[in-house]
Amino acid sequence: QASAHSSLFLCTGDRGSGKTRFLQEIGKAIDDTDFCVMQLSGSEQLKDLPYGALIKGFLERFGTVEKLREHLGTSLQAPDESFWEALFGGAQASLETLSAEAAGHFLVRTLASIEKKTPLVLLMDDADLLDPHTVALLQAFHQAEGDGPSPFVLMAASDYPISVETSGSAPGRTAGELPTAVCHGMSLPIVEMKPFRGEDVEKMVRTVFPTLLVEPLFHTELLLLTHGSPSHLEEVLKYLVQTGKLIYHRSAWRREGDGLHDLPDTLESLLENRLSTLDPEVRSLLEKASMMGPEIEPELIQKLEQSNEGHLWDLLDKARRFGVLQSSSRWEYNDLRFSSRTAQKVSYEQVPE
């Protein structure tokens, strides 16, 4: 619901608990005609650039000043157009125009203009890697300072030191009230992504392999190995199929072998093992892509690879079918990205020194 004040929430959970996918599913579920949804992501590559995550979010949502005007139904007034071209279009501009203060004023004005037409929703992944200027802007939203925009903001973070303030039985809390935690100096209600329980593991396995014939102990083994991490469980299932430990025979999936004791015991080591079986060209491409952030930029990669476009798309498609990259549609590549921060991290760690 839209409100007079900004609403900020924090999604927490261990790495691999499904926070990124949770934000993606929320973004898909919100009607884009009734809300303006912007999906942002903090990254090592952008955290030293003032408003880096926000600027990239604008680019991915609108692309050009013309598309922004189309959304707003009006023309931006000077000097806003020159700001847009300087910040997003790569145009030459004075140092004053590109200063963090000037950029901040422009972004707040633009967000406020967007919100006048439709409620604004900001979905921020990897909030622990946001640049300080974007954090300061969020803090201003949280404190309802001035006459600026008041968006609904849902942030996801795992590596940032988060201190929970209240528990389910804390005194003074009303029934149904969410616990709160401090992140980036803000006390925020939290939505926690909890590990899978035994029945959750079995449900996910049955969803992926509806004809699977295994003993109930198999699901318990998976739970103990993955500690209930959805991402780890997903990678284990891929690994079992890839290595022939799960096979499709006589109209059913069946288990081969006598246990999971020889599997790599961490999500990272499992991914490293799987990536090592990829075509060397695909691995090299993933290593280069990992240095640019979670999103894949084919044009930039093509320049680095110095390969023809058709061959590049073939390599990207192999990585996507392997499950290291993902996109919103099987036939769409304009939003290709690493399937998880862990997948990007493992690929990055393979880059030769």
Q: Give tens-digit pLDDT for 31-49.
A: 777 888 888 888 777 788 8
* pLDDT higher than threshold 70 for residue 69: yes
* pLDDT higher than threshold 60 for residue 75: no
Q: What is the pLDDT of residues 109-168, one digit of tens each?
A: 888 888 888 888 999 888 888 888 988 888 888 876 556 678 888 888 765 555 555 544
| pLDDT on residue 200 | 94
Q: What is the pLDDT of residues 186-227, one digit of tens each?
A: 888 888 888 999 999 999 999 999 999 988 889 999 999 999
Least confident among 219-223, 241-245, 308-312: 308-312
What distances in angstroms separate CA 109 from CA 76, 84, 87, 90, one per listed residue? 10, 12, 14, 20
- Peptide bond preceding 79: is omega within 30 degrees of 0, i.e. cis? yes
pLDDT band at 3 (very low <50, low <70, confident <90, very high): very low
Other beta carbons less than 10 A from residue 283's beta carbon:
17
- Regarding beta strands 152-157 and 120-125, do their DSSP bridges make them parallel or antiparallel, or are they unpaired? parallel
pLDDT band at 171 (very low <50, low <70, confident <90, very high): very low
Q: Which of 332, 318, 7 is nearest to 141 (CA)?
A: 7
Q: Which of 141, 323, 161, 111 is nearest to 103 (CA)?
A: 111
pLDDT > 90 in the chain, percent: 16
Q: For residues 150 and 238, what is the distance between their CA atoms, to the nearest angstrom?
A: 42
The two three-digit tokens of residue 142, written as one number: 């949280």
Query: To the nearest whole number, what is the mean pLDDT of the chain?
Result: 80
* pLDDT higher than threshold 80 for residue 333: no
Q: What is the pLDDT of residues 285-297, one digit of tens each?
A: 898 888 877 778 7
Q: Which of 98, 180, 124, 114 is nearest to 149 (CA)?
A: 114
* pLDDT higher than threshold 60 for residue 95: no
**Contact in structure between 156 and 126 (CB atoms under 8 Å):** yes
Q: Which of 191, 210, 199, 270 is nearest to 234 (CA)?
A: 270
> Can you tell me the mean pLDDT for 38-64?
82
> Can you tell me the mean pLDDT for 308-326?
87
| pLDDT on residue 167 | 46
| pLDDT on residue 223 | 93
pLDDT band at 53 (very low <50, low <70, confident <90, very high): confident
| pLDDT on residue 4 | 43
pLDDT > 70 in the chain, percent: 82
* pLDDT higher than threshold 90 for residue 181: no
